[in-house]
Chains A and B, each alone.
Chain A
Amino acid sequence: MGNRVAIIGIGQTHFKSKRPDVNIPEMINEAVRAALADAEMEIKGIEAVFTGNMETFEGVCHPDHWMAVESGAFGRPGMKVGAAGTTGATVVDEAFHMVAAGVCDTALAIGYQKHDQGNATGALTTCCTPVWGAGFAVGAMQEFAKQALTYMERTGAREEHAAMVRLKADYGACRNPYAHLRLGLSSIDEILQSAYLVWPLRILDFCPQSNGACALILASEHVANRLSNKPVWIADMITVHQTQFRAGIYEDLTGRDPYSQEVAAARLYKRNGITDVRRDIDLAEIYEPSNWQEMTTYEHLYFCEKGEGWKMVEKHMTDIEGEFPVNCSGGVIATNAIGATPTVRIAEAALQIRGDAGERQATRDIKTALATALGSTNWTILTLLRRSL
């Protein structure tokens, strides 16, 4: 491993359905200024800048060019990265590697999405190869619908459990001023009565399209200790890629099972001495565009035995007040500005470690947290954060 790296600045916009008032550079600039204010730094203290989004969504060829001034990249080493849904963690990973390698002492990572500028589902149709996917491309929802059906058939989970996940998420979102959908749901019946979107997914089983940005400032150990009185240390990051064409093998019926999460988690835990996940990690912020994804992710990250994710939900173990809180922020099902979403997971996990999560702060003390990112056909980035190394 390289040099120690900490998060010393966290900034995010308020996520909304529409942001017609700002263009992309102005929108990301809100997050950059918030991160700089949080770190009590000026832009001249930043040595390198990494930006990323789901590029085809907004119809801009070189978005990093548009925003070079507003992102802080003008006159600095900078790079635009793209890794589908995991992009928002990949920007952090790039910054992490640069600082860990000693190339620079500070780096800024920015994930963003301006969904109101394009058509995400239209853009996603080009994920399908024209040979094998012609005529079948419908975007993300169908993928998650197949996963929901398979999960019910395999584990005995019912729609009620998915509704419980949404209710938990909404409870967190209503306590998170940055969250997009804050519905004020009071019972699972409200969720179970919502219309089917792509069976068996209901409209309240799935995430919205949000607009917003999230920026993190990373620093080397000596800079972090000098500038920050509450650095959050990045203990480790890991990336595992996956192929589209695996349905039917690895006991995966849908091609949707996050095999890459299992592989990534096993490696991450091994090299960080984590043997009992719920004892050694205090909280997780996971990438769950659908409530069903949340339950399968518990299993793939070894939070519980296979087929028992829904039981953790039933026992309220992952509530804000629970013994192993997951997505106190309201998660992705409440807020999904895709390019920013994994950055927000890391940001929210770091805020929990700092004790700065306000009304959404977990009841138990959070010293170690895990943040996940999920992209395209389930490639994975995991980030392990600690209050001290």
Chain B
Amino acid sequence: MEGWTIEQLEGKDVFVIEGQVAIPNNYSAGIVGSRFLVELRDNCRIMGIRCPKCDRCYVPPKSTCMECFGQLTEFVEVGKSGTLLTFTVDHHTTPVQTASPPNVYGIIKLDGADTGLLHLIGEVDGKAVKSGMRLEAVFNEERRGSILDIKYFRPAEAG
């Protein structure tokens, strides 16, 4: 059998079948995820979960300790402020982004937490963001039970 010619490859006889799959999904937030979102929505509280054996506070909370495999149930409120561990300034657009670029994404270790939380950083030019800087949460007026009930973290006022 002879190979395809350039003409054919350009669409005359070579078929490309267009497809689009749109399947609705319902993601269960889970036992600890649901509690986290309810506290965020109703009380503007950011909850961690603590492993008493390993003395580690997970934010976001997990149901199982990654160190000792213990079943975790001890919710604790952590600070609304924290320290920026690392960040990036994103200039490109995807359909799942909620804000228009450029977006600053950071990993923030909240006061009282032992793990980093991914979120947006706002009210600051990307060029002025520095690892190690102090940030504080800004909550949306209307909250729906989403990690985006925190609008973003912004530079904390000194003191």
Measuring CB to CB, which residues of chain A are less than 8 angstroms from any residue of chain B? 19-26, 29, 33, 42-44, 56, 58-59, 69-70, 72, 74, 114, 116-119, 122-123, 125-126, 130-131, 134
- The distance from the CB of B75 to the nearest CB of chain A, in whole angstroms, is 15
Measuring CB to CB, which residues of chain B are less than 8 angstroms from any residue of chain A? 15, 17, 19, 21, 23-34, 62-66, 69, 71
Beyond known contacts A22-B31, A23-B27, A72-B69: 12 more, CB 8 A cutoff: A21-B28, A22-B30, A23-B28, A25-B30, A25-B64, A118-B25, A119-B23, A119-B24, A122-B23, A126-B21, A130-B17, A131-B15
A23 touching B25 in the complex, CB below 8 Å, given contacts A70-B63, A131-B17, A134-B17 = no
A117 touches B26 (CB 8 A): yes
A20 touches B28 (CB 8 A): yes
B23 touches A33 (CB 8 A): no
Point out the residues of chain A lying under 8 angstroms from B28, CB to CB.
Answer: 19-24, 114, 116-117
B26 touches A25 (CB 8 A): no
A59 touching B30 in the complex, CB below 8 Å, given contacts A29-B64, A69-B66, A70-B64 = no
* Chain B contact residues, majority secondary structure: loop
Closest residue of A by beta carbon distance from B24: A119
Point out the residues of chain A lying under 8 angstroms from B34, CB to CB.
Answer: 21
- The distance from the CB of B34 to the nearest CB of chain A, in whole angstroms, is 8
CA distance A23 to B35 in the complex (A): 13
Of the candidates B17, B21, B62, which one forms a contact with A69 in the assembled complex, judged by CB atoms under 8 Å apart? B62
A69 touches B64 (CB 8 A): yes
A59 touches B23 (CB 8 A): yes
Closest residue of B by beta carbon distance from A130: B17
Point out the residues of chain A lying under 8 angstroms from B30, CB to CB.
Answer: 21-23, 25-26
- The distance from the CB of A38 to the nearest CB of chain B, in whole angstroms, is 16
CA distance A123 to B23 in the complex (A): 7
In the A-B complex, the 6 residue pairs with the smallest Cβ-Cβ separation, listed nearest first, are A23-B30, A59-B25, A130-B17, A43-B69, A69-B66, A122-B23
A59 touches B27 (CB 8 A): yes
CA distance A33 to B72 in the complex (A): 13
Point out the residues of chain A lying under 8 angstroms from B25, CB to CB.
Answer: 58-59, 117-119
What are 29 inter-chain pairs, A to B, with CB distance below 8 A?
A19-B28, A21-B30, A23-B29, A23-B31, A23-B33, A25-B30, A25-B64, A26-B30, A26-B31, A43-B69, A58-B25, A59-B27, A70-B62, A70-B63, A70-B64, A72-B69, A74-B66, A114-B28, A116-B26, A117-B25, A117-B26, A118-B23, A118-B25, A119-B24, A122-B21, A123-B23, A130-B19, A131-B15, A131-B17
Closest residue of A by beta carbon distance from B66: A69
Point out the residues of chain B lying under 8 angstroms from A56, CB to CB.
Answer: 23
CA distance A70 to B21 in the complex (A): 30
- The distance from the CB of A217 to the nearest CB of chain B, in whole angstroms, is 14
Point out the residues of chain B lying under 8 angstroms from A26, CB to CB.
Answer: 30-32, 63
CA distance A125 to B23 in the complex (A): 11
Closest residue of B by beta carbon distance from A118: B25
Point out the residues of chain A lying under 8 angstroms from B27, CB to CB.
Answer: 23, 59, 117
CA distance A125 to B19 in the complex (A): 11
CA distance A3 to B159 in the complex (A): 65
Point out the residues of chain A lying under 8 angstroms from B69, CB to CB.
Answer: 42-44, 69, 72
CA distance A286 to B45 in the complex (A): 50
Closest residue of B by beta carbon distance from A120: B23
Point out the residues of chain B lying under 8 angstroms from A21, CB to CB.
Answer: 28, 30-31, 34
**Among B17, B19, B23, B33: residue with most chain A CB under 10 A:** B23
Closest residue of A by beta carbon distance from B62: A69
B71 touches A33 (CB 8 A): yes
CA distance A18 to B15 in the complex (A): 42
Point out the residues of chain B lying under 8 angstroms from A22, CB to CB.
Answer: 28, 30-31
A25 touches B23 (CB 8 A): no
- The distance from the CB of A243 to the nearest CB of chain B, in whole angstroms, is 21
- The distance from the CB of B98 to the nearest CB of chain A, in whole angstroms, is 19
Point out the residues of chain B lying under 8 angstroms from A70, CB to CB.
Answer: 62-64
- The distance from the CB of A329 to the nearest CB of chain B, in whole angstroms, is 26
Of the candidates A29, A72, A119, A126, which one forms a contact with B63 in the assembled complex, judged by CB atoms under 8 Å apart? A29
Closest residue of B by beta carbon distance from A74: B66
- The distance from the CB of A17 to the nearest CB of chain B, in whole angstroms, is 13
Of the candidates B17, B24, B63, B71, which one forms a contact with A25 in the assembled complex, judged by CB atoms under 8 Å apart? B63
Point out the residues of chain A lying under 8 angstroms from B21, CB to CB.
Answer: 122, 125-126
CA distance A21 to B30 in the complex (A): 6
Closest residue of A by beta carbon distance from B34: A21
**Among B19, B26, B33, B69: residue with most chain A CB under 10 A:** B69
